[in-house]
Amino acid sequence: MTLPDARRGRPRDSRVHEAILTATVDLVTESGYAATSIGAVAARAGTGKDAVYRRWSGKAELVYEAVFTATESAPVPDTGSLTGDLTALVEALLHEFTAPAAAAALPGLLADFAADPGLRTRIRSHFLAPAKSGLADVFERAARRGETSSAVPVDLVLDTLAGAVFFHVGLVGESAAPELAGRLAGLVVRGIEVR
């Protein structure tokens, strides 16, 4: 995802973008967050540092996009039920958070987020807000089917699911048991179902 304030001019080469993201995941996995640098990423991707800085403000935004946005950019689940849709979403989050790159990146990213309020704001506005907006379809369909109310606080529900995954896998270090996604989705759906 490119930032909305990208400069006009020659269109960006999506292959370069993907090469940078792949190089970032590889380097974070191999060397850890602290040892990953923009220069190393650019060299691994076969491009210059300017190509990286045209797309991201720095390492934290680059690593966040490379490691933690697969779920956000995936098609919105449509299984025919709210429980099924949320289970699919949680499964994707679990897959993302249990990847080796996530385990390597998370401590450093959390430290950078704590130290830089502007970074948190950019991540929220450029990555999280559009992802949550797209997932609103899940809840709109559920409301039309009568599974839940249209007044459900979608942001809070999504934060609850992502927070549970983050805490369980990212902070506590528990394994992602096969039934975990369904159990988390079931808990949330029971809490917001129409009564």
> Tens of pLDDT along the chain (195 residues)?
444 444 444 556 789 999 999 999 999 999 999 999 999 999 999 999 999 999 999 999 999 999 998 877 788 999 999 999 999 999 999 999 899 999 999 999 999 999 999 998 988 888 888 888 888 899 999 999 999 998 999 989 999 998 999 898 877 877 788 899 999 999 999 988 876
Burial class (CB in 10 A: 0-12, 13-18, 19+), 9: exposed
Q: How far apart are CA 115 and CA 9, in angstroms?
A: 33
pLDDT of the residue at 34: 96
Q: How far apart are CA 103 and CA 169, in angstroms?
A: 9
Q: Which residue has the tokens 């429980």?
A: 83
Supply φ then ψ for residue 148, to 5 degrees. Answer: -155, 175
DSSP lists the bridge partners of residue 148 as: 193
Work out whether the CA dihedral 21, 24, 29, 30 comes out positive or negative: positive
pLDDT of the residue at 16: 94
Six-digit token string for 149: 């109310």
pLDDT of the residue at 11: 55
